[in-house]
Every structure is written in C-alpha cells, then in structure tokens.
Chains A and B, each alone.
Chain A
Amino acid sequence: MTKNILLVGVGGQGTILASKLLTLGLMQSGVDVKMSEIHGMSQRGGSVVSHIRYSDDKVYSSVVEKGSADILVAFEKMEALRYLDYLRKGAKVVVNDYEIPSMPIYSGLVEYPKGIIECLQRNADVVVIKANDEASTLGNAKAMNMVMLGTIIKLMNLEHIDWDSIIEQNVKPAYVQLNKQALARGMQLAE
C-alpha cells in the first residue's frame, strides 16, 4: 500500500532538508520511495511543496494525487490551507502554528488571515504544534523543521528507522545534537 506525505511551507523554512532526510530514511528501511519538489526561482519566500510517496511494492508516480495524502505537514499555517485538498478523507494535518506574511500582506493590501486553525479543524483531524517555540527552547528556532519531521515519524509509525544516524550523515556536525533533540521533541509532541 503506497503512503503519501505532503510537506508544505515557505522557502527558507527547511522543508527541503526535512523531506530529504525523510526520504533517505525510508530508502534505508528498504521500501521503494519517490520524492518530487518544485523549485524554480531562487528567491526567498515562495510557497514550497515536497511530495513523498513510499511503498513495500513499487512506487511509480512521484506526485501525490489530490485527495490522497495520508498526512499533510505544514511548516506555516496559511500553507496548510492552501494544500488542504491534497488530504485523504480522515487523514491528519500537522500544522506549525506560525505565521509568515506574503507580499499582499507585507504591502498592506490585506492582513494575515485569522481563523486558519479553526478552518482546518472543520475539515480534518488537526495536530497543532508550536514548532518554532519548541525549537527555540532547545536553542535555535531553525531546528523547527526537525521538530516537524519528528511528528511525521511518529504519526506515520516510522520510529523503527535509525533517524539519528541519518541526521549524523547529513547534517553539519555542529547541528547534529540540536537536530536529534528537536526530532525527539517532535516525536513526543505527536503522542
């Protein structure tokens, strides 16, 4: 049975590293895995989405079909809503309770919308995480992406994979300890 994960966020939030580690871990566990991400313009601040699909059988498409994601993981609140139609009925949304304004908001045309989490809750089973605060408590808000990765690992029952060694092999030595702690914290929060 193929599992579908969608990671969404804003350029610069570390979604790409999180999906890279997740994909590597899945590959090392012996399943077939594919990942697709759209990255074009190098500017900061655009909407970013990574599709991850894995299975004990062969995975063909690298793109998650709308209405079929087993989990939608949003590193930014508004992005959760933007990609909500990818979610399978009854599946979970994990949302980082964190706001990053976009250009119409910066330029004063509109305000950052209120009531996003409530709207998500009307449509899906929602796990709200304050990943930036959690990572700050551990020493660096940037490790927020590892907190989010930890929640995915827990909710998708992937704890059997040796994530610590994946982090050791793919993260700069100075950040290994912090990232391991953030990952563990994310797993705790998802319980």
Chain B
Amino acid sequence: MLETEENSAEPETVALSDEEVALLVQHGDKDKFAVLMERYEKKLLRYGRKFLSDKENVTDAVQEVFIKTYQGIKSFDPDQRFSPWIYRIAHNMFVNAIKKNSRNPVSFIDFDTLVAHPTYDDTAPADREQKEMRVLIDRGLAGLPPNYREIIVLYYLEELSYKEIADILRVPIGTVGIRLKRAKEFLKKQLPERAKDFE
C-alpha cells in the first residue's frame, strides 16, 4: 500500500526527527520516505519557485530532487542535519535547470569564494527586517542574478543559518555573509524600478 498524506503522519513518526526518519529509510523502510517528502515538498516547491525563472519546471525539478534524494539516501550521515543535505541536492538540481534553460548561465568562476570575507554575525533577522524583506522579495526577486536570488530565498524564506547555507552552496561562511549583504543592496536598488511596474 502506498503511503499517502493522510496515513503517513502516524503519531510515532511525527515525533521522529528528519534524521531518524532518514535512518529508517536507509535501513529499508521505504514507506517512511513519504514522511520526508511530506515535510519537504512545500519548502522545496517554494524554494524552486523563487529560484527558478521558469515556473513550469519547478514541479519536475522537485520530483527529480526527491528521486535523487532517495537514490542517494545511503550517503546521508544521520549524525548531520538532513535539511542542508536535501537542500544541497535541490540546489544542484535547480542550478542545472537554470544552466539548461538560460542564455546567461551561472558563472563557472565564483568570485565571492576567492578570498576570505569577514564573518558577519548570523543573528536571526529581526521581525521588522524579516517583514520588510518579504515585501521586497515578492516584488523584486525576479530581477536578481541567480546566486543572489538563491541566498535571499534560503536565508529569509527558508530561514536557514549561515552555516547551513554554506554547506548547501559549498562556499565559505564568510562568502554567505558578503553575498547576502550584496543581494539585499541589489534588491533595494531595484525597488524604485519595480515600484514603477506596480503603479
């Protein structure tokens, strides 16, 4: 019997962490994979919609993410956090989708990772900043370059920490801080143009 939304949320499963569920899947409990999909599907769809420019590919891309996750589940170390791991798979999938569909592919050389950057304080954004950024994000994200778009989504919408984002993007932690700073500045500069579109 296939696990569905209605019966995958058994009380004992709800109490399990992502890492514990992944461990069960690794040991052969394939049905438990539905639990992981249930927990991450909405997040990954949101991440994909904000990151990819072609919304029609998001569903296919997210499906591929889950397929790759299942195929590679035995490479996951349950002592680490599951969330950055699956987001890493999603990041790779979405970047490949952008490369396939874009005339201006993601740059091969990542200049932000060339040198060390000061590590910015990874304080959770204050409520007010969070609300302001969500407004800016809704209005201005499409005009950002992919690497800025992604970091804004991961930090403000997916609410991941600098360390988690560094592990997903495979960049130094300082690079996360500097890229986020630049992304916010870029977004704010764009806002006057975007505001005109809505008049």
A is bound by B:
no
Binding site for B on A (CB under 8 A): none
Binding site for A on B (CB under 8 A): none
